[in-house]
Amino acid sequence: MPRIVRRHAKEDNQKKLSAHLPPLLQRIYAARDVSDMAQLDHELNQLLPYHDLLNIDLAIQYLVTMLQQQLRVLVIGDFDADGATSAALLVSVLRSFGLQHVNYLVPNRFEYGYGLTPEIVLVAKERNPDWIITVDNGISSHDGVAKAHALGMKVMVTDHHLPGDTLPPAEVIINPNQPNCNFASKALAGVGVAFYVLLALRARLRELNWFSENTITEPNLAHALDLVALGTVADVVPLDRNNRILVHQGLRRMRLGCMRPGIRALLEASGRSVHQLVATDLGFGVGPRLNAAGRLDDMSLGIECLLTDDHDHARHIAEQLSLLNEERKQIGDDMQYQAMQIIQNLHLGEGKNLPAGLCLYESTWHQGVIGILAARIKEAYHRPVIAFAHNEGTVLKGSARSVKGVNIRDVLDLVDKRCPGMIISFGGHAMAAGLSLNEKDFPAFSAAFAAEIGKCLTEDDLQGVYYSDGELALDEYTLDMATQLREGGPWGQAFPEPSFDGEFNLLNQRIVGAKHLKLQLGFPGSHRILDAIYFNINTDEWPNRRAERVRAVYRLDVNEYQSKRNVQLMIEHLETITDE
C-alpha cells in the first residue's frame, strides 16, 4: 500500500512570507523552500543573466558572422515537444533578425535515431549549410560533429542534457550543464537554452545598430515566450525560479490571446480554455499532441504547426496531430496491457520481489511509444523502468523513466562502466534517458540495472509515496481558494501543484466515460457534500460498493460546466477505510 507523506512547511520560511497571502498559500510556499516574497516575483527583469553561460560570447560572435555574411544555417532539432519548440523558436527569431537562409531538419526517430548522428549529417549536407546548430541535442554527438567537420560544415551545439566524460569537438557549445558553466539554473529546457542564446544575440545586434542599419523592426522576444513556456512544461524539467518566470510570462501572454496560431489551434483541439490557461493545460493538452508527431510520424508536422502564420492551416495541422495522438493512446493502452501481463508472468519464486529496476521488452512494441509506457509502469510500480522496442537488426532501443532520488542517466553510466561494451549508446538527464543495446545482452543488462537501482532504493521507497500538503479546513473548500491555488504557480516538476489528504464519507460513486470514477464525498459531522472525480481508475477495484469511508489524496480544482463553476476534488489516490 502506498504511503501518504505530508510536506512540512518550515516555520522560518513561513514567517518571512507576506501576511497578505492566505495562510494556506503561506504554508504551501514554505514547504517548497520559498522563504522570501521576492522568490514569487515572476517579472522578466528577475531572469538570470545570459552572461553567465559558458561560451556565450563566442557563440554570439559566430551568430553575428552568420548574419553579416548571410551564411546558410540548418537547425537540427529533436523529435519531442522541447525539440520542436526549440527549432521553431530559433528558426523564426533568426529569420526576424534578418537571416535569410535558415531552415530546420529533424531526424526521423525510426530511420536516424536521436541527435546529430553521422547519418543525419549526410542528409543535412544535401542542403549545403555552412553551419549546423543543434537544439535540445548534440552534447553526446561526437561522431556526428566529426562527420560534419569532414564534410566542411561547422557546428554550434545548444543543449541541456547531461554531458558524458568528454565533449564533442564542436566550434562552440552552450549548455548550462557542461563543466565550468556558472549559469545558476541547471534546469533550463532545450528551448530555454535557445531563448537565452537569442537574448544575448539581440543585445549584441543592438550594440552594432544592426536593426536600424538594416531597416528591421527590432523583434520583441517576449512574443516568443509562448514557445518557451510550452517546451519547458512539456519536457517536465524542474520548475526552479528561473523556469517559473519563463513559464509564468508565457502563460500570462497566452491568457491575453498573445500566441502563435499553432499553439492556439492545439489548445482548441484539446478543449482547453485560453483565458483560464495553466501549466497543466500545456503539459496534458498541447504537449501530447505535439509529441504525437515525433512518436508516430515526423516531427516536422509539429514544427510546421508552430511556424505557420495561417490560422486555417494551423487548425488543419492541429486536427492531424490530434488524430495521431488518438492513435498513440490506443497503441499505448495495448502496450500497457502487454507489459502488465509480462510483469504478472515473471517467475519470481517464493520470497522474491519485483526487481527494484524494471526492464521490459516485447518485439512488437512501437519504438515511439516506449517512453510513455515506461512512465506508466513507473507510476504503477513506483520504481525506475526501461521499456525496450526492436530497432534494427539485433539492436534494441530503450526509454527510461525514473523516480525521485534516482538519477537515471548516472545509473546508466555506472552500468556502462561496470559492464563495458554492453550498452551501445546512452544519454539523457536525471528523470529520463535513452539507450541502445544488443538483444542478446538484454537479460544481463536487466540484472545489472536492477542491481544498481537496488543500491539506491529501499523497500519502503518501492511501495510508492503520495505527497500531501496536509488537510484542508472545511471553510477552505471554496471557489476563491481553488482559484488562488490554480493561479499560485506555475506548478510542475520540483515545484509540485498543491495536493491534500483527508477522510471522507463515500456517498455516491459511478463510472463516467470509459474508466473514470465520479464521486460524492461528505465530511464526518457535516452536511457539506463535495463532487470529486478520479481519472483512469482500476475497474477491478472501483466502484467498491462495500466502501463507506475513504481516505483520499486530491487537488482542489474548479469544474466549469454549462457556465457554472463549482469546487471539485481531483483524486490522485483513493483507499478504503475499514473498521478494525
What average pLDDT does this structure show over 231-258?
95
CATH 3.10.310.30 fits domain 349-463: yes
The pLDDT of residue 132 is above 70:
yes
- Asked if pLDDT for residue 45 goes beyond 60, the answer is yes
Confidence (pTM): 0.90
Q: Which residues pair with 561 in a beta bridge?
A: 564
Give the Å distances, CA to CA, from 502 to 82, 134, 476, 552, 570.
37, 48, 13, 6, 13
- The cell numbers describing 50, all together, are 545570459
pLDDT 10s digits, 366-396: 999 999 999 999 998 999 999 999 988 899 9
Q: How far is CA 115 from CA 70, 137, 139, in A?
A: 26, 5, 9
Higher pLDDT, residue 524 or 411: 411
Q: Which residue has the cell 536525471?
A: 430
The domains of the chain are located at 8-40, 45-241, 349-463, 466-576
Residues 86 and 135: beta-carbon distance below 8 Å? yes
Mean pLDDT of 250-269: 96
Best CATH choice for the domain 45-241 from the list 3.30.70.1230, 3.40.50.1970, 3.90.1640.30, 3.40.50.970: 3.90.1640.30
3-state secondary structure of 91: helix
Annotation: CATH topology of 466-576 = OB fold (Dihydrolipoamide Acetyltransferase, E2P) (2.40.50)
Q: What percent of the chain has pLDDT over 90?
A: 77
CA atoms within 13 A on the CB side of 68: 12
Q: What is the pLDDT of residues 387-441, one digit of tens each?
A: 999 988 899 999 999 998 899 999 999 999 999 999 998 988 888 899 999 999 9
Is the model's pLDDT at 296 over the cut of 80? yes
